[in-house]
Amino acid sequence: MTSKFSTLLWVMIIAVTLSACAGKRTQEPVSVTQNAQAMYEEAKGVLDSGLFNRAIEMLQAVENRHPFGPLARQVQLDLIYAYYRANNLPQAIANIDRFIRLNPNHPNLDYVYYMRGLTNLKADENAFQSFFGIDQADRDLASTRQAFDDFRILVTTYPDSQYSADARIRMQHIRETLARHELIVADYYMRRGAYLAAANRGKYIVEFFRESPQVEQALELMVQGYDKLGLYKLRDDAYEVLKLNFPNNRTRIGS
């Protein structure tokens, strides 16, 4: 009986000890936390100095060694910025999407969506520079359209954010960019005899970019495209809208 009691007592002592040890593992020792802070401050100094690739290496080291520490979220935010400034846009987007997925209620999500918009804008700027000289009608502005959606989420969800005012300005610029792009595509189709495609692009501009200065030319292309196709009712309707909104326009149609 005494032997069984002693065995049970030792089992209970071991269980309590293991439980205490497991509880201690959930917190980093003070010395480790201080080391993480020192590593982060050094990495932040390098980031602030503009050495973005080196900063990425140092921030990754902090994240790898202290993935659950009190600085983890800030390190991830700094990595997003560093990747953006280093022009590693795919990695910036990957880190942004991961942050949004894992931190849906983080107080700095407005900044993250702002950076997502900036990153997507920059992606299309880089693509244009890479393919400079190729007919612009062949360009895809998918990332620019995504940037518009990113900024829209920001201004809609966080209207009082310090980044919202700039996001609204960028959205207006994006609208003009997309309208000009659609007009270039419409003209591209017109010059190649794809009259229906040209007219449809013009119609898209009129419907979705009503305030754009490109609307007048879009209506002209609609009139020309429908005329070439023999779609005279659609041509006359487009012409009526053109003359109503732009009475000084010199486009003429036959009877």
Res. 139: pLDDT tops 80: no
Determine the average pLDDT of the residues in 148-163. 97
Q: How many residues does the chain have?
A: 255
Confidence of residue 45 (pLDDT cuts 50, 70, 90): very high
In a domain, 1, yes or no: no
Res. 9: pLDDT tops 80: no
Determine the average pLDDT of the residues in 217-228. 96
DSSP-assigned letters across all residues of the chain: -HHHHHHHHHHHHHHHHHHHHHHHTTS--HHHHHHHHHHHHHHHHHHHTT-HHHHHHHHHHHHHH-TTSTTHHHHHHHHHHHHHHTT-HHHHHHHHHHHHHH-TT-TTHHHHHHHHHHHHHHHHHHHHHHTTTS-GGG---HHHHHHHHHHHHHHHH-TTSTTHHHHHHHHHHHHHHHHHHHHHHHHHHHHTT-HHHHHHHHHHHHHH-TTSTTHHHHHHHHHHHHHHHT-HHHHHHHHHHHHHH-TT-------
Note the pLDDT of residue 214: 93
Note the pLDDT of residue 26: 45
Instruction: Answer yes or no: do 198 and 252 share one domain.
Output: yes
Confidence of residue 7 (pLDDT cuts 50, 70, 90): low
Structural domain tally of the chain?
3
pLDDT tens per residue, range 194-209: 999 999 999 999 999 9
Res. 21: pLDDT tops 60: no
* Contact (CB, 8 A) for 184 and 136: yes
Name residue 121's amino acid: L
Instruction: Answer yes or no: do 132 and 208 share one domain.
Output: no
Tokens in use for 239? 């012409």
Average pLDDT, the chain: 86
pLDDT tens per residue, range 78-105: 999 999 999 999 999 999 999 999 999 9
In a domain, 68, yes or no: yes
* Contact (CB, 8 A) for 165 and 155: no
* Contact (CB, 8 A) for 241 and 219: yes
List the domain range (segments joined by +) for residue 145.
Answer: 107-192
pLDDT tens per residue, range 229-249: 999 999 999 999 999 999 999
Domain boundary among 163, 192, 221: 192
Note the pLDDT of residue 34: 64
Confidence of residue 125 (pLDDT cuts 50, 70, 90): confident
Res. 40: pLDDT tops 60: yes
In a domain, 146, yes or no: yes
Res. 31: pLDDT tops 80: no
Q: Considering only 23-32, 75-84, 116-125, 163-172, which range has the smallest mean pLDDT?
A: 23-32
Confidence of residue 135 (pLDDT cuts 50, 70, 90): very low
Tokens in use for 195? 């009259």
In a domain, 62, yes or no: yes
Distance, in Å, from the CA atom of 65 to the CA atom of 23, rounded to the nearest integer, reads 20
Res. 145: pLDDT tops 50: yes
In a domain, 22, yes or no: no
Note the pLDDT of residue 115: 98
CATH number for the domain including 178? 1.25.40.10
Instruction: Answer yes or no: do 78 and 44 share one domain.
Output: yes
In a domain, 97, yes or no: no
Instruction: Answer yes or no: do 136 and 188 share one domain.
Output: yes
Note the pLDDT of residue 35: 87
In a domain, 231, yes or no: yes
Tokens in use for 47? 């980031």
* Contact (CB, 8 A) for 80 and 96: yes
Determine if residue 120 is left, alpha or beta; phi over 0 gives left, psi from -120 to 50 gives alpha, anything else beta: alpha
Instruction: Answer yes or no: do 214 and 145 share one domain.
Output: no
Note the pLDDT of residue 68: 87
